[in-house]
Amino acid sequence: MIGKIIGEKYIAIARTWAPTLAVWGGVGGVALIHFTDWKLFLNYVPYINGKFKKDD
C-alpha cells in the first residue's frame, strides 16, 4: 500500500539509507548525553541508577 503512494524506487532508496540514519542517530544520541547533564540521563538506567545516590 505504501508502495503505491510513495513508489517502489523511493522505498528502495529509504532501505539503503536506513542503516546510515540509524548510526547517525546513535551518534547524535551519544553526543546529546555527552554535552548535557549525563547523570540526568543515566538515572533512568536501572543498573547505573544506584551509583549516583547521595548519602545525606
Q: Is residue 9 part of a domain?
A: no
Q: Is residue 36 part of a domain?
A: yes
Q: Which residue has the cell 543498573?
A: 47
Model-wide pTM > 0.85: no
Residues 6+ apart with CB under 8 A from 49: 42, 43
Q: Is residue 3 part of a domain?
A: no
pLDDT tens digits for range 1-54: 777 788 889 989 999 999 999 999 999 988 988 888 877 777 777 766 566 666
What are 7's three cell numbers?
A: 513508489
Residues 6+ apart with CB under 8 A from 39: 52
pLDDT tens digits for range 37-51: 877 777 777 766 566
**Amino acid residing at 28:** G
Domain containing 50 equals 24-56
